[in-house]
Amino acid sequence: MATENIYILGIESSCDDTAASVIHNGSILSNIVANQKIHEAYGGVVPELASRAHQQNIVPVVDQALKKANITKDQLHAIAFTRGPGLMGSLLVGTSFAKSLAYGLDIPLIDVNHMQGHILAHFINEEGFNKPPFPFLAMTISGGHTQIVKVDSHFNMTVIGETIDDAVGEAFDKSGKILGLGYPAGPEIDKRAKLGNPKAFKFTKPKVDGLNFSFSGLKTAILYFIQNETKANPHFIDENINDICASIQYTIIGILIDKLKMASKQTGIKHIAIGGGVSANSGIRQALKDGEKKFGWTTYIPKFEFTTDNAAMIAIVGYLKYLEGDFAQQNVAASARLKI
């Protein structure tokens, strides 16, 4: 088995982004993502439409990734794909495609856990970005997950806290829906929050034991707050949108940072990384940076393009597994609820 000059193709199709990336010895040669605009009209991802769109996108996306990397498929050493967690119909498209390609090229197939991908994206070689030393804490914050993970080595990870209901990305998206913002609302709330007063409105933080999170109560509190206010003033949302967004974001970030502080104290670990779509949020990025001065943390914040779903994070896990000879068999099955 070759150990030098390794080219890995990564394929990601767990939700509504079809993505492919080629990585060479841990450095990105290409990172292509096709977003599925079709879901915007429905205010959320429609699983059946997502799998159909993956089916249409996957060949051109993989083709583009190879072209951009300036290699042919015969130069690949392995195919890495997202096995789960995610939407079953979406996962099946990437899984079946990866299996067929690996079989056709007679090269190893590597299964990747999507959440490990969000964490191990920190191990992509990127100028100006340090890799976290072990052990470190990783907070994965996305539309589907909210977890605090203790990472002892590349493949030895323990979830020490997670949401008991909604994910933090859902808290952003569902709040945005109440406010009449488009889907996904996270980036829009972030943009408006920059123009508003974070202390204009106060939302109580949920009381959840230990390192676990809960966001469904916050969503309900926001709904009742908006219903009450708009009864008194029908233009309340329009007149206060920036302050409302800033206050919601401030509350959500407070919840995340409180738990991170607790996790750092309990474990004694001060190296803190974030990953997942919500780590694109400017407020959480700033709060983490502030944690360096306030709590003595060293923080690891991914490059913007590796925060939301992408295949570079799948390819890097593929590369790390390739070095360990950790391959999947052709009978490997996609798993919607795959655990770390």
Q: Which does 186 bind (CB under 5 to 8 A by kind): Zn ion, ligand KG4, none?
A: ligand KG4
Q: Among 177-185, 219-227, 284-292, 304-312, which window interacts with Zn ion (CB under 5 A)?
A: 304-312
**190 known ligand binder:** yes
Paired tokens of 136: 């470190």
Paired tokens of 230: 């708009």
**CA 243 distance to own-chain centroid:** 26
Tell me, what DSSP letter sits at residue 25?
A: T
Residue 142 in contact with Zn ion, rule: CB under 5 A: yes
Pairwise CA distance, residues 127 & 333, whole Å: 36
Whose CA is closest to 142, among 115, 165, 161? 115
Residue burial 157-190, b: 16+ Cβ < 10 Å; e: rest: bebbbbbebbbbbbbbbbbbbbbebebbbbbbbb
Written as one letter, the residue type at 201 is F
Determine phi and psi for 79, rounding to 5 degrees. -115, 120
Paired tokens of 225: 């707050």
Residue 10 in contact with ligand KG4, rule: CB under 6 A: no
Binding mask 238-277 for ligand KG4 (x = CB under 6 A): --------------------------------------xx
Binding mask 45-84 for ligand KG4 (x = CB under 6 A): ----------------------------------------
**209 known ligand binder:** no
Would you say 85 or 161 has its CB closer to ligand KG4? 85
Which of residues 151, 278, 314, 334 is near ligand KG4 by CB under 6 A?
278
Pairwise CA distance, residues 170 & 280, whole Å: 15
Q: Which does 281 bind (CB under 5 to 8 A by kind): Zn ion, ligand KG4, none?
A: ligand KG4
Would you say 126 or 309 has its CB closer to Zn ion? 309
Would you say 89 or 184 has its CB closer to ligand KG4? 184
Residue 309 in contact with Zn ion, rule: CB under 5 A: yes
**Where does this chain bind Zn ion (CB under 5 A)?**
142, 309
